[in-house]
Structure 1
């Protein structure tokens, strides 16, 4: 099969093909440069040290955003704020997470990702201290807005940092780890805070989470490296580079000129053969290609990136470009899907205290917090194994399609959330309505949070696959730099957080005002309809990618 089909962003060749045979080798996308400072050239240990720092940052940021969920009832009694006001404040938190990405994301490229993470950590710690002294609804909302501003990188910048250091075919697993703690941290906060409240009061929750945030900031200061690298996309170490996934048999290879993976093959012959074939957007590495991964050089806490020469242009485009991309239907669809499963977890956090602390369950605050252990544990297989399964599924689909992967291939896995999520929502609503054992409600929460991370992985990786490969005309100007900050992801997250913000206004009347039975049935129907839109994307997604490419290029070439 020729590569004439590789003319649409999101369609790529990750297996080479000889005749009718698909080779068991993976093309590296994107192509790494020859520089040892290129994060793509780091050793796996160095990459996973960076990932560990970002995971610690993510789980701490999500704990800050959720540590008061399980104490909403006593918090309401202590502060005089109604449950509805507390939920609306949470809505403002997520709204400002989305809006603030228009500032934090371009700032990370203009001034460095490492300082952005550090400002996020220590700024969030200061705002969290203020929360302990906030009085009245206006100060509660103001504290939520500022907290959303400082923790906004945890929702967008981490994905870009992962794309900085991991190749396309290995990206879903680290993305799964990240999303595991994005969902898991939101569950872990209420688990811990329930016990802290009963022993020390609700303000102690804030002091302890602030201390954790400061520790996290110090860890980032000493161990997190800068991943921003100005890679020249017009050049790479080779036009086509392959990682062989099968061991070589020296006896069979010796003297066999037909074997493409011959052990004594020279770099010159590799480059000559590559130059004779059609270049692909990737790089292949054979056993003979000189390639030495860069090990971790040790703590270099004094190393900061200098302000980018296009800093002002990047900041301007960071605000304008994501808004310009709303002309693309796939951006709206990705934002809707991301919001749907963010809302599903927000639903768990918003109604658990009101359901379990009331008759017939009459749970204590610590017991309500302990029920969040179920969604916390269920998020682990959903995210970690979900990312692993996604990577393997994409490779398997590519082998079935002559070595070519389509962005829509992974969306076939949406069958899992499409089946399980309505079941979980029905258990969460009908269980309490009919007075069933509390385990029915808790298992429903676990099911919803099991498939939420998987759905988020599929959505984020899909929008990355669709638009990350598109490069502007000027590869040496501010346009290329602005594309590196992933404006498509900002558009998706901003849209998702606006949806989430609006939903927080209706959680309380929908669930408690309309009745749990009506809530359960209507939510299951709504989620089923939303999941059914995946069928349309599977059928028309590539056509929409082809049609939308011109509009996307027009936005990033501005």
Structure 2
């Protein structure tokens, strides 16, 4: 039966409904997988988690490498002659180029496969890390940061897309939470490692150790990472009463693996036994009804390191369309809001990184480099519960709200949890600023860093989930066009990441004067007011979010059909 309540992107039925009250706990599969056993949505749980482990490990390692020098910026400045301002500015260029380069690396992954992009990124980051040990000037420092940002970009935009490749909408909370943890865990473990190694051996061995770890990780991806790019072709199926006829109709309109080059579902589907057909009915986007037992739970085949993707036949068109779409979606309120809030959480991470050495290594604390590095444990520990509890909490709360809403899920439901971020943000920032200003015990500053990292991890999880829920299930009218593949590149996420990284770049020039020249007291108070005010903007999304999603649907459809 047609339901006009589902006519808004980001609004989906996730529970079956009987009358006006939900009577069942059966969750619909959303998006609906094809009947191809190699469709990533049809992978077994074990196979999905092997894939997730690979991309999360990649995320952790490259973030560790990018952050490995943060705890030693003060001694590094003394040994290299680069000022603290120049080191922080280099970090700003790093994040700026991450945002710009994502517009290139993302469509390349769609055109030529995600697996080769991950592998190239890992080995390139290792080579650039070696260059860091031989930097004689500020210009080379900035140059190395720009190139590192280019090859780091898949870690900030491609992983979220890869997660949606293999996990259903109601399963994404935990994987997204672990992804958010990996961002901050890598950023925290880098300074912890560097602090210990510096006191024992100096700063260059830090480079060799992190480079070795990155190279090993590259070989892990070569042997264990699978390709997740897949184009799922589904068309409307007329009402069929014969299960056998319906089965054949579904197979005929199945999916083709692209760009991996595997057999199409029309070829492999015929080998699936009719035992897979059951009475369960899945109503998806009012386009078709399938009476097939899905997913198929195909197991991992084992290492197949020699198998790489075939380029998409329309790869160049995909790249061009994705780049243009990224800029065209910048007028959508949800994209702007997500980009700004992600920029806030990136700012939190930058604050912790920039302040730790400058505050704790000086009076009144006078900590050693290794001790400064160990204080990042607070931030790491704070992020762990978000990964393992925040994701499931968001999933559970989203399903709970859907049940109360007659089985219909709204993209804004999970944003109710944003209140946690709004409450904790001023507390953490005030502790980071006022604690050292009044010479309080160092634990005040360190706990403040932990609170801010908790907020950043949880807020990142909620913001990324929201932007995907709003736009990811919208598809161009022609499923065979380059626009269809370009939509899989998540242009809305690329735009949000670009806004985030430009925000971070601009902030990199303000961190040192804001924190140290204007005074930690003023920094703590002003940052608490500014960032709490920005995060309170989620109230506007809760009130007007669905209305803006509906009004922007026509414009977004024009973009993805361009």
Range that drifts further, 326-335 or 430-439: 326-335
Distance 1:206 1:283, change over 3 A: farther
* Alignment partner, residue 544 of structure 1: 548
Residues 176-205 of structure 1: CA deviation (Å, up to 9, x unaligned): 011101111100100010010111111111
* Alignment partner, residue 526 of structure 1: 530
Distance 1:87 1:19, change over 3 A: same
Is this contact kept in 2: 1:325–1:555, CA < 8 A? yes
Counterpart CA distance in 2 for 1:471 and 1:544 is 19
Counterpart CA distance in 2 for 1:279 and 1:133 is 56
After the TM superposition, which residues 496-515 of structure 1 pair with which residues of structure 2 at under 5 Å, given as runs?
Answer: 496-515=500-519
SS of residue paired to 1:85:
helix
Moved over 4 A (4+): 235-240, 265-269, 281-286
Question: Which of residues 465, 475, 488 in structure 2 aligns to 1:471?
Answer: 475
After the TM superposition, which residues 95-494 of structure 1 pair with which residues of structure 2 at under 5 Å, given as runs?
Answer: 95-234=96-235, 270=279, 280=286, 289=293, 292-494=296-498
Is this contact kept in 2: 1:433–1:517, CA < 8 A? yes
Distance 1:268 1:293, change over 3 A: closer
Counterpart CA distance in 2 for 1:89 and 1:12 is 43
TM-score (norm. length: structure 2): 0.91
> 1:233 Cα shift?
3.5
Is this contact kept in 1: 2:41–2:295, CA < 8 A? no
Is this contact kept in 1: 2:2–2:286, CA < 8 A? no
Distance 1:285 1:434, change over 3 A: farther
Counterpart CA distance in 1 for 2:505 and 2:340 is 13
* Alignment partner, residue 50 of structure 1: 51
Is this contact kept in 1: 2:196–2:370, CA < 8 A? yes
Counterpart CA distance in 2 for 1:84 and 1:370 is 23
Counterpart CA distance in 1 for 2:50 and 2:172 is 15
Is this contact kept in 2: 1:30–1:282, CA < 8 A? no
Range that drifts further, 379-388 or 454-463: 379-388
Is this contact kept in 2: 1:70–1:191, CA < 8 A? yes
CA RMSD of aligned residues (A): 2.0
Distance 1:364 1:266, change over 3 A: closer
SS of residue paired to 1:405:
strand
> 1:446 Cα shift?
0.6
Distance 1:111 1:153, change over 3 A: same
> 1:39 Cα shift?
0.3
> 1:267 Cα shift?
7.5
Range that drifts further, 477-486 or 377-386: 377-386
SS of residue paired to 1:18:
coil
TM-score (norm. length: structure 1): 0.92
> 1:311 Cα shift?
0.5
Is this contact kept in 1: 2:98–2:152, CA < 8 A? yes
Residues 423-443 of structure 1: CA deviation (Å, up to 9, x unaligned): 000000000000000000000
* Alignment partner, residue 265 of structure 2: none
* Alignment partner, residue 260 of structure 1: none
Counterpart CA distance in 1 for 2:427 and 2:289 is 44
SS of residue paired to 2:279:
helix
* Alignment partner, residue 3 of structure 2: 3
Is this contact kept in 1: 2:42–2:294, CA < 8 A? no
Structure 1 unaligned spans of 5+: 241-264
Counterpart CA distance in 2 for 1:468 and 1:106 is 15
SS of residue paired to 1:439:
helix
* Alignment partner, residue 262 of structure 1: none
Distance 1:101 1:26, change over 3 A: same
> 1:231 Cα shift?
1.1
Residues 190-242 of structure 1: CA deviation (Å, up to 9, x unaligned): 001001011111111111100000000000000000000121143699899xx
Residues 396-424 of structure 1: CA deviation (Å, up to 9, x unaligned): 00001000000000100000010001100
SS of residue paired to 2:452:
helix
* Alignment partner, residue 94 of structure 1: 95
* Alignment partner, residue 19 of structure 1: 19
> 1:367 Cα shift?
0.5
> 1:467 Cα shift?
0.7
Counterpart CA distance in 1 for 2:535 and 2:161 is 26
Is this contact kept in 2: 1:43–1:293, CA < 8 A? yes
Is this contact kept in 1: 2:236–2:288, CA < 8 A? no
Counterpart CA distance in 2 for 1:137 and 1:72 is 14
Distance 1:513 1:230, change over 3 A: same
Number of matched pairs? 529
Is this contact kept in 1: 2:236–2:287, CA < 8 A? no
